[in-house]
Amino acid sequence: MKQLSYFVIILTLALAQVQAQEVAILKYNGGGDWYANPTALPNLIRFCNENAGTEINEKPQTVEVGSSTIFQYPFLHMTGHGNVVFSDEEADNLRTYLFSGGFLHIDDNYGMAPYLKKALEKVFPNSTLEELGSDHPIFKEIFKFPEGLPKIHEHDGKRPQALGVFQENRLILLFTTESDLGDGWEDPSVHNDPEEIRTKALQMGANIMTYAFKN
């Protein structure tokens, strides 16, 4: 029965990837504001459709970590500032999703990192986050970032980091921190970022999406 369920999950993800390039926002528990940056993902999707040849639905849906609905979306996006908590069932569901071909991008909106890393220990008890080198293909998918992840907002002034979890050399989870790409994706009036900064954020986001859909 478990083998049949696993086959159904893989088939669902495969069909989702064939039928449409769909993305969804991941809703999690713990008190963190999973709903932060409401204009960010729609703006990034629009940018990708106009500049990266994608055909993504411009109105991303919201899915919960423990729901089977996540298997309908090849790409999940998660963000926030605060606490993140996964139950055992949610951790199992997310792990199955990622090992079955799904992709999760987590963008630290400032202050999320310590909580997230603890939550991910439950999802990946035998794996740790690894830093991606600036030579990783995700930094040259469409737009070139020879120095790796760009710095969008200063926050603590630390260097930006792209951290990942791999399954047999496939990047299945990307965590971007000390960069705050999502703030750069938001409407210009929200943070008043210079157009150059917003462009860098959107271009890096487009690289992430196109890389995920190809791999």
For residue 39, pLDDT over 60 is answered with: yes
Report the alpha-carbon distance of residue 183 to residue 10 in Å, rounded.
33
In the three-class reduction of DSSP (H, G, I as helix; E, B as strand; rest coil), residue 28 is classed as: coil
Instruction: Using DSSP bridges, classify how beta strands 103-108 and 130-131 pair: parallel, antiparallel or unpaired.
Output: unpaired
User: Residue 58 to residues 9, 27, 63, 97: CA-CA distances in angstroms?
Assistant: 25, 18, 16, 23
Report the alpha-carbon distance of residue 132 to residue 162 in Å, rounded.
6
- The DSSP element (H or E) to which 106 belongs, if any, is strand 103-108
pLDDT at 31: 92
pLDDT at 9: 52
Mean pLDDT of the chain: 90
| 35 or 14, higher pLDDT | 35
| 95 or 4, higher pLDDT | 95
For residue 6, pLDDT over 80 is answered with: no
In the three-class reduction of DSSP (H, G, I as helix; E, B as strand; rest coil), residue 98 is classed as: helix
Return the sign of the alpha-carbon dihedral for residues 39, 28, 48, 206.
Answer: positive
**Secondary structure tally for the chain: helices H, strands E:** 7, 7
pLDDT at 38: 95
Strand partners, 170: 167
Question: Among 12-21, 40-49, 57-66, 77-86, which is the least confidently predicted range?
Answer: 12-21
pLDDT band at 165 (very low <50, low <70, confident <90, very high): very high
Model-level pTM? 0.90
pLDDT at 5: 53
Place of tokens 């990047």: 171
Question: Among 26-30, 52-56, 163-167, which is the least confidently predicted range?
Answer: 52-56
Q: Which residues contact 93 (CB under 8 A, 6 or more apart)?
A: 65, 66, 67, 68, 70
Place of tokens 């992709």: 103
pLDDT at 215: 87
Instruction: Tell me the mean pLDDT in the region 119-137.
Output: 96
User: Residue 100 to residues 23, 56, 59, 160: CA-CA distances in angstroms?
Assistant: 16, 21, 25, 29
Residue pair 173/164 in contact (Cβ under 8 Å)? The answer is yes
For residue 14, pLDDT over 60 is answered with: no
